[in-house]
Amino acid sequence: MAVEQAGLGTPDDLSDEEREAVETLLYRLADDELVLGERYTEWQVRAPTLESDLALANIAQDEFGHARLWYDLLQDFGADEADLIYERDPADFRHSTLVELPFEEGDWADAIVRSYLYDVAEDVRLEALAGTSYPRIADRVGKVRSEEEYHQEHAQNWLERLADDEEGRARLQEAIDRLLPYALTLFEGDEIDARIDDLGIRTESLDSMREQWFDIALPFCRSLGLDTPEGIREDPKSFLPEQVGRDGDHTDDWRDLHDEMTHTYRELGRTEAHKIMPDPDETDE
Amino acid sequence: MSGEREDSRMDIEQVKERAGPREFSPKDDLPEDYRKAATRMIQFHANSEIMGAYLEKPFIRQAPSLDRKLAFSAKVQDEIGHGQLLYRAAESLGVKSRDQMLDELAAGEGKFLNCFHYPMENWAEVPMIAFFVDGAAMRRQATLKRTSWEPYAHAMDKVCFEEGFHVKHGEDIMRELATGSKKEQEMLQDAFETWWPRIIQFFGPTNEKSTHHDFSADVGLKTMTNDELRNAFLNAYIPKARKYGLELPDTPRIRDNDDGTYEVVEEDLDWDEFFTVAKNEYEPGKGQINTRAAAQDAVEWVRNSLDDWESKGGATTPQAAD
């Protein structure tokens, strides 16, 4: 998997500007996966069947595992896990607001629609990273991609089943109406994105990735008899929700979630997050 | 197993005669008493997996590191998987379907382990379940590899294998707390004092007070008595508790036989509470049953939608990738 060209080289080789670009991208990746995994676990012991419970728990664990891989790359720059998760100000997290929204009890349609919208975007994003100029990311994209493939398949299967009956379709429609604007935040960025593109850390721009995502997700939803809003392609910015997350502006639900996540760490007065598994660099194939 | 083959149906005496490890399978035409007793036992076990997972789930989120979160999430998932496996083993007796058993659990009629009727409030309580209760469960489950209902014994092979990792992880969480700050050590001791009597009661009342034991032992479903299991647990786990600096509370009194074995003074334990718990009438447990039931009720529409899909000849339900 290692990239042929020297590219940006090792963490130590990076200039300040390069490093800032790499970090910006990694924070979004890691935070998205962690927070989505956190939300998915809400379905453990609550999913409709034991089988669906196990399947979503698997997916949640994959997301945590991916978060771990991406946070590990951020640790190359000196931060430790406590800095990155447990002691970081919730306003410094850079995940999209799509992944932080809580689930209403019983709203399995939300879990499925959210998963689908996210997984398609994740696939597009990882494809744009397959040819990254930063070798540390390139080394890990393959593993993450192979697992994400199953996630998308899982979401698609469920969408097809639920869309097949009236109540299921109505619930999916509600979820799409509510979540689609939040999903657009996955493609939001800031002034550093131009540099990310120029440095080849990613081979597609956010705008181009959003187009690819529309190309896949919109026709699929429509093929199931689900409506997507008029004009969303032409003017996506006008559909964005109040909080986009990527800029650190989050919903109140995120503060509550972060508070719960860090509760034990604070209650015990911990100052570090203990490792119990081998470093990802030592388990690479 | 069908009523049409009356002549081939074994009677209880024949069952007792043949009873031995993994002796009976769905190929045998077993009498109703056996099938009911085995169903009751396996259903209890399956329910316990689900309610244990229910209790532990919040600590996936509250785990104090990402590694712990991953390991703990995998554990909760394993417990659900064990529930799935055990309901299947119970179903194979032809007495109740899985849906029936899950409905009974939601309705407060399904019985499960005493320990899972109590609330868990902080991380220091995690090893009380993940080390002591799971350790106790391991002892019992290991003996069930020799139970006479083969599908149950077979499920135990996988369950025991995975449970071995859980107990190790639980022990590691305990070690971390026991070697942590003074506050962590104090929280651990408090949790231990709260949970210790319940953990001892895990094995149920003494043999004389246990209603189901004799029959289950005679037909080979159980291979050890409550007392034997409890004593074996005490012998193994009292030294472990001490190793981590935990002090046994004054009650229940524990008799040290000075030969490496221990016994508990049974009348020091609150058996009224135990039997209230056993009837699903203990308050925190009731709340836990009902909250789970409400969550399951809220996704009833999904199950209906799936039934619909399957009856229309759709492909099978999405499965876990394993």
Pick from A49, A221, A46, A53: which is nearest to B306 by CA? A49
pLDDT on residue B210: 61
Q: Give, in order, the Cα–Cα distances in Å from A161 to each of A85, B281, B296.
A: 37, 39, 19
- What's chain B's average pLDDT? 92
In a domain, B133, yes or no: yes
CATH, domain A21-279, list 3.40.50.2300, 2.40.160.50, 2.40.110.10, 1.20.1260.10: 1.20.1260.10
Q: Are A221 and A162 in contact (CB under 8 A)?
A: no
- Contact flag A44-B181 (C-beta cutoff 8 Å): no
CA dist A61 and A42 (Å) reads: 12
ipTM: 0.95
Q: Over chain A (285 residues), what is each successive 10-residue block's mean pLDDT?
A: 66 96 98 98 96 97 97 97 98 98 97 98 98 96 93 96 95 98 98 97 98 98 97 97 98 98 97 91 68
- Contact flag A45-B309 (C-beta cutoff 8 Å): no
Q: What is the least distance, in Å, from the CA of A169 to any CA of chain B?
A: 10
In a domain, B264, yes or no: yes
In a domain, B109, yes or no: yes
In a domain, B320, yes or no: no
A280 cis-preceded (ω within 30 degrees of 0)? no
Q: Is the pLDDT of residue B256 over 70?
A: yes
pLDDT band at residue B316, thresholds of 50, 70 and 90?
Answer: low
Q: What is the least distance, in Å, from the CA of B181 to any CA of chain A?
A: 8
In a domain, B54, yes or no: yes
pLDDT on residue A282: 85
Among the ranges given (A181-195, A210-224, B73-87, B214-228), the one the predictor scored with the smallest mean pLDDT? B214-228
Residues of B in contact with A71 (CB under 8 A): 66
What mean pLDDT comes out for the span B243-269? 94
Is the CB of A154 inside 8 Å of chain B's CB atoms? yes
pLDDT on residue A163: 96
Q: Write out residues 19-48 of A within 8 Å (CB-CB) of B.
A: 34, 38, 41, 44-48
CA dist B82 and B88 (Å) reads: 10
Residues of A in contact with B176 (CB under 8 A): 274
Specify the higher pLDDT residue, B312 or B264.
B264
- State the CATH number of the domain containing residue B252: 1.20.1260.10
Handedness of CA B193, B198, B199, B201 (dihedral sign): positive
- Contact flag B295-A38 (C-beta cutoff 8 Å): no
Radius of gyration of chain B (CA): 21
- Contact flag B66-A171 (C-beta cutoff 8 Å): no
**Domain limits at B23?**
3-311
pLDDT on residue B214: 85
For residue range B283-305, what is the model confidence (pLDDT) as tens digits?
A: 999 999 999 999 999 999 999 99
Residues of B in contact with A106 (CB under 8 A): 295, 297-299, 301
In a domain, B316, yes or no: no
pLDDT on residue B3: 47
Q: Are A22 and A14 in contact (CB under 8 A)?
A: yes
pLDDT on residue A284: 52
Tokens of B143: 């003996």
Give the count of domains, chain B: 1
- Contact flag A45-B57 (C-beta cutoff 8 Å): yes
Q: What share of chain B is helix, strand, coil (3-state, %, to 5)?
A: 70, 0, 30
pLDDT band at residue B313, thresholds of 50, 70 and 90?
Answer: confident
Q: Is the pLDDT of residue B212 over 70?
A: no
Is the CB of A161 inside 8 Å of chain B's CB atoms? yes
Residues of B in contact with A53 (CB under 8 A): 80
Residues of B in contact with A34 (CB under 8 A): 66
- Contact flag B318-A55 (C-beta cutoff 8 Å): yes
Residue A224 class from Cβ within 10 Å (0-12 exposed, 13-18 middle, 19+ buried)? middle
* CB neighbourhood size of A188 (10 A): 19
CA dist B256 and B82 (Å) reads: 36
Q: Which of B48, B54, B62, B66 to mutate to test the interface with A (most CBs of A within 10 A)?
A: B66
- Contact flag A261-B62 (C-beta cutoff 8 Å): yes
Q: What is the least distance, in Å, from the CA of A123 to any CA of chain B?
A: 19
- Contact flag A274-B68 (C-beta cutoff 8 Å): yes
Is the CB of A282 inside 8 Å of chain B's CB atoms? no
Domain extents for chain A? 21-279
- Contact flag A276-B320 (C-beta cutoff 8 Å): no
Q: What is the residue-wise DSSP string for A168-208?
A: HHHHHHHHHHHHHHHHHGGG---TTHHHHHHTTSSSS-HHH
Q: Is the pLDDT of residue B121 over 70?
A: yes
In a domain, B225, yes or no: yes
Q: What is the least distance, in Å, from the CA of B286 to any CA of chain A?
A: 17
Specify the higher pLDDT residue, A4 or B50.
B50
CA dist B51 and B46 (Å) reads: 9
% residues pLDDT > 70 (chain B)? 93
pLDDT on residue B7: 62
pLDDT on residue A22: 98
Residues of A in contact with B302 (CB under 8 A): 48-49, 52, 108, 162, 168
